[in-house]
Amino acid sequence: MEYRYPLTPVDKTEGLEIEPALRPDAIRLGAMFSPIGTNGDVHKTCLALAQLCKRHGVMFRCNTEIEDVLVVDDRVVAVQVRNGDLIEGDSFVLALGNHTSAVAKLAGVKLPMYPIKGYVLRVPTTPSATPLKCNVYAGGQALISPERDDMIRISGGADITGFNYKKDAKRIASLLAHAKKCFPDGYLDEAKMTTQVCLRPVSADEVPLIGQTLVENLFINAGHGSKGWTLAFGAGALLADQISGRAPEINIEKYSPLRFGLFATQQTQP
């Protein structure tokens, strides 16, 4: 077990009993299995969370563009949005994915975080295919996950291209090829495949940025890379503890945005 996550080595026979959809020679040397591995629908989860938050008095302002973050004496006093409104508060959390760095800069804060391009392929299985039950990591090159309606989700890739959503046909073909090695011939209905580009916010050391900045009441929760949903609840709990003055269950300093020594506040010019 590593970091409290159970991993068990299994041989080929055991692996095929756990996941019979796999091609036998795909795990001829065995595999690592976790009994708690799972997946779900991120969109539905976020919608449900939004409804829960609303019932507890949280106000959402969608389609609202931030124009400035007003800092006085190393504290954020308000966020100014495009229509001129000033949103005041005691504490401010930037959890804006790839846009976190740009908004942090308005407060004089530098974040070592960059968008890393990845791909998501969704491919239905053929009618005779054995349904996939488990998440499968294919040689470190692709994550294959079962979805509803006999759909398979294949994700992977890490290209440094800036804010570029252009699809690379060679990268898509390579990702699909890695996934196909895991299954019998004809398992995937490639003619019905859809593709999507995603830009994952990744910190300079690939560890999320969670915690307080040099601006006293400005906090960051970003840079989770491809594991945003996986880490979301834990990251939120850590940050909530820090803001509330409670002792987090684990050491939050390892995630501190200050760990790089690159954070800086700039004097506000009159």
DSSP string, the chain: -BTTB--EEE-HHHHHHH-TTS-GGGGTT-EEE-TT-----HHHHHHHHHHHHHHTT----TT--EEEEEEETTEEEEEEETTS-EE--S-EEE--GGGHHHHHHHTT----EEEEEEEEEEEEBPTTSPPP-S-EEETTTEEEEEETTTEEEEEEEEE--SS-----HHHHHHHHHHHHTTS-TT-B-GGG-EEEEEEEEEETTSS-EEEE-SSTTEEEEE-BGGGHHHHHHHHHHHHHHHHHTPPPSS-GGGG-GGGGS-----PPP-
Select from 201, 231, 249 the last residue of a domain.
201
Q: Are 66 and 169 found together in one domain?
A: no
Question: Does 12 reside within a domain?
Answer: no
Q: Are 108 and 144 found together in one domain?
A: no
Q: Are 129 and 255 found together in one domain?
A: no
| Contact present, 212 and 218 (Cβ < 8 Å) | yes
Question: Does 60 reside within a domain?
Answer: yes
Output the pLDDT for position 269: 39
Q: Are 121 and 194 found together in one domain?
A: yes
Question: Does 220 reside within a domain?
Answer: yes
Q: Are 215 and 196 found together in one domain?
A: no
Question: Does 29 reside within a domain?
Answer: no
Select from 157, 178, 201 the last residue of a domain.
201
Question: Does 215 reside within a domain?
Answer: yes
Q: Are 67 and 196 found together in one domain?
A: no
10 Å Cβ neighbour count for 27?
A: 20
Q: Are 149 and 226 found together in one domain?
A: no
Q: Are 65 and 107 found together in one domain?
A: yes
Residues of the chain with pLDDT under 70: 1-3, 261-270
Question: Does 30 reside within a domain?
Answer: no
Question: Does 148 reside within a domain?
Answer: yes
Question: Does 105 reside within a domain?
Answer: yes
Q: Are 82 and 215 found together in one domain?
A: yes
- Note down the domain range covering 188: 115-201
Output the pLDDT for position 141: 87
CATH of the domain at 85: 3.50.50.60
Q: Are 81 and 187 found together in one domain?
A: no
Output the pLDDT for position 37: 79
Q: Is the whole-model pTM more than 0.85?
A: yes
Output the pLDDT for position 261: 67
Number of domains in the chain: 2
| Per-residue pLDDT reduced to its tens digit, 100-148 | 999 999 999 999 999 999 999 999 999 999 999 999 998 778 999 999 8
Output the pLDDT for position 3: 57
Select from 201, 219, 243 the last residue of a domain.
201
Q: Are 196 and 124 found together in one domain?
A: yes
Output the pLDDT for position 5: 75
Q: Are 125 and 177 found together in one domain?
A: yes
